[in-house]
Amino acid sequence: MDSITNSMTLIENNFCNTMKIGIIGLGFVGLSFASVLGSKKYSVIGVDSDKQKVSKILTGKAPFYEPKLDNTLKNAFKIIQKNNKFSDIRLVIMGVDFGYEQSMEKLIKINNLTEKILVIKNPPREDVISAYGESEFLILPSQWELSPLVPLESFAFKKPVISTKSHGIPYTVKDNENGILVEPNNPKQLSDAIIKLLLDESLRIKLGLSGYDFVHKECNSISMAKNSLRLYEEFLKINHNK
């Protein structure tokens, strides 16, 4: 406990009280990064030339969504449903509306998946936690992620993750180590990965335990504090040499 307190105190005393951060451009990267920094109590100023985008952000709405994301998951699940072995499988989608809720519900209805796919809108945190415990694994078919936190939550419950090879995801979800990675926008690969985990309980347990170990070794307070401190020290050293 002392080492955690000392590390965090050192970071806060040297950086947190003085650092003000400006983010130019509030797209996928900029807004995600600004949100994370803001949650850590930094003073963050976001700048963007798109007035419509800024207006959405000011009202608490994300100004972007991932096209084809809803289609990919639904098409993958439709492929799975053609196999009689999985007639009792249910897909649960939880989250807030980032701009494609209506199109997602339309796809579910068109593909006759209303009884197979449960959409829970704006779930309280308690329900999200319960869902991790009740699920066999997590599916995160994102086309873009900077540094996803959702897989870490799944790992904390010893649940493996199926996701894509996009951007920052492979740094968290390791293919065949704590999860399975597929190409983005590929319903066939996604459905194959889902079926693979559904049929192999030992693999689910193995990947889930590996994810659990990853969270406890790499994502604990001591490691995060030390890594953050090292990053800031390197940054200050580079700027000092200039």
Q: Is residue 83 part of a domain?
A: yes
Q: Is 35 exposed, middle or buried (0-12, 13-18, 19+ CB in 10 A)?
A: middle
The reply to whether 89 falls in a domain is yes
Q: Are 170 and 52 in contact (CB under 8 A)?
A: no
- Determine, yes or no, domain membership for 158: yes
| Domain shared by 73 and 57, yes or no | no
Total number of domains constituting the chain: 2
186 shares a domain with 100: yes
Query: Does 233 map to a domain?
Result: no
Q: Are residues 48 and 111 in the same domain?
A: no
Last residue within a domain, chosen from 20, 43, 64? 64
Decide: pTM greater than 0.95.
Answer: no
Assign residue 152 the CATH number of its domain: 3.40.50.2000
pLDDT digits (tens, 9 = 90+) for 25-39: 776 567 766 766 666
Q: Are residues 171 and 210 in the same domain?
A: yes
Residue 154 shares a structural domain with residue 208: yes
For 96-151, write each residue's pLDDT tens digit.
655 566 777 777 777 777 777 777 777 788 888 888 888 889 888 877 776 778 88
Q: Which residue has the higher pLDDT, 20 or 208?
A: 208
Q: Are residues 173 and 107 in the same domain?
A: yes
Domain termination residue (choose one: 64, 85, 111): 64
